Amino acid sequence: MENQLYLRDIISIADLNRSDLEQILETAAQLKRAPRPDLLEGKVIASCFFEASTRTRLSFETAVQRLGGTLIGFSDSSNTSAKKGETLADSVKIISSYTDAFIMRHPQEGAARLASEFSNVPIINGGDGANQHPTQTLLDLFSIRECQGTLDDLTITFVGDLKYGRTVHSLVQAMALFGAKFNFIAPDALSMPDYLLEELDEKGIRYRKAGSIEEVVPESDIIYMTRVQKERFDETEYMHMASKYILGVESLKGARESLKILHPLPRVNEIEVAVDNTPHAYYFQQAENGVYARQALLALVLNKSI
């Protein structure tokens, strides 16, 4: 297959079509089966975290090293020229001139798109403010494909904070390309934004808002849990509603054997620890898959053919 990702910037999940996604996921599966420590040999990759994110950074940096590449960069912006007032545009011009690709995370929305306009090498977005985090979506898709054997025609239930969760929004948009059906379970104050529901309506995607997890467990292939942040509610209100958005072993009665539970992590208490021991728990494999998804992306962006 022709490599459609070669030398492309990876900024937003919306920039990737179905065949791009399939190519990345297939490559991730191959690299998981058979490591290729030669694919980034001789390449220097910038890993610039203008905002700290330990998990994402370690996952990216592991991916680069597993492919034989080397890294330069920083894990937060406190000792960089950004602190002195240099524009991101200037930083990117300089750092990109040293490297073969530029992985970045930044606290402001649009930072990665802007960087792509000033960089000579591909930009990989590791999160720009509340906007996009495409590699999280890729690892979610990879995990779903891995545990279900397909991405087509699945029923996916999202639980928790569906308003602010960018991982939820991107995954919904991506899974819509594969004919998924969605259930949404969230407190009113944290329900799916209207603009996204409108998008689903326009595409003819089936979805419904459900009242409880138990109600939709039997029909679900995937339950995607997210954290409801305490600080968004006053204490009594939180105590009142939080229990509805917690997944326990009891809630899983009547589940399909193949049902898997995903969570972008970190988890606090929204999935009871006892669930970890059920065959449905898949969130730790999901986190591990982040390395393979990122390897696939880097390998495709930096190699004309694999």
Partner 1 sequence: MTNKLQVEAIRKGTVIDHIPAGQGVKILDRLQLLNSDVSITVGFNLPSKAQGRKDIIKVTDLKFTEQEANQLALFAQGATINVIDEYHVVDKFNMTVPETLRGAFPCPNSNCITHNEPVNSYFYLREKDDDIRLKCHYCEKSFSKEIVSEL
Cβ atoms of residues 269 and 245 within 8 Å:
no
Among 5, 67, 104, 111, the residue binding partner 1 under the rule CB under 8 A is 111
Q: How far apart are CA 67 and CA 245, in angstroms?
A: 39
99 is catalytic: no
Residue 87 contacts partner 1 per CB under 8 A: yes
Q: Smallest distance, Å, CB 87 to partner 1? A: 5
Q: How far apart are CA 107 and CA 78, in angstroms?
A: 13
84 is catalytic: yes
By CB under 8 A, the residues from 182 to 201 that bind partner 1 are 195
Q: What burial letters (b/e) apply to 42-51, b meaning 16+ CB within 10 Å? A: ebebbbbbbb
Query: Coil, strand, or helix at residue 110?
Result: coil
Residue 109 contacts partner 1 per CB under 8 A: yes
Q: How far apart are CA 11 and CA 143, in angstroms?
A: 21
Catalytic residue from among 106, 133, 145, 227: 133
Query: Coil, strand, or helix at residue 26?
Result: helix
55 is catalytic: yes
Q: How far apart are CA 55 and CA 149, in angstroms?
A: 27
Catalytic residue from among 55, 206, 208, 256: 55
56 is catalytic: yes
Among 130, 239, 273, 274, the residue binding partner 1 under the rule CB under 8 A is 130
Scanning 82-90, 184-192, 222-230, 298-306 for contacts with partner 1 by CB under 8 A, the matching segment is 82-90
Q: Smallest distance, Å, CB 52 to partner 1? A: 17
Residue 94 contacts partner 1 per CB under 8 A: no
Q: How far apart are CA 119 and CA 90, in angstroms?
A: 9
Among 43, 106, 263, 280, the residue binding partner 1 under the rule CB under 8 A is 106
Contact string 145-184 vs partner 1 (x = CB under 8 A): ----------------------------------------
Q: Which of 173, 177, 183 is nearest to 206 (CA)?
A: 183
Residue 117 contacts partner 1 per CB under 8 A: yes
Query: Residue 32 or 93: which CB sits closer to partner 1?
Result: 93
Among 70, 108, 191, 258, the residue binding partner 1 under the rule CB under 8 A is 108
Query: Residue 129 or 179: which CB sits closer to partner 1?
Result: 129
DSSP per-residue string spanning 190-239: GPPPHHHHHHHHHHT--EEE-S-HHHHGGG-SEEEE----GGGS-HHHHH
Among 51, 61, 100, 128, the residue binding partner 1 under the rule CB under 8 A is 128
Q: Which amino acid is at 296?
A: A
Residue 124 contacts partner 1 per CB under 8 A: no
Residue 9 contacts partner 1 per CB under 8 A: no
Scanning 111-119, 264-272, 286-294, 297-305 for contacts with partner 1 by CB under 8 A, the matching segment is 111-119
Residue 88 contacts partner 1 per CB under 8 A: yes
Q: How many residues interact with partner 1 (rule CB under 8 A)?
A: 20
Cβ atoms of residues 40 and 68 within 8 Å:
yes
Largest Cα separation within the chain, whole Å, is 58
DSSP state of 247: B
Residues noted as catalytic:
55-56, 84, 105, 133
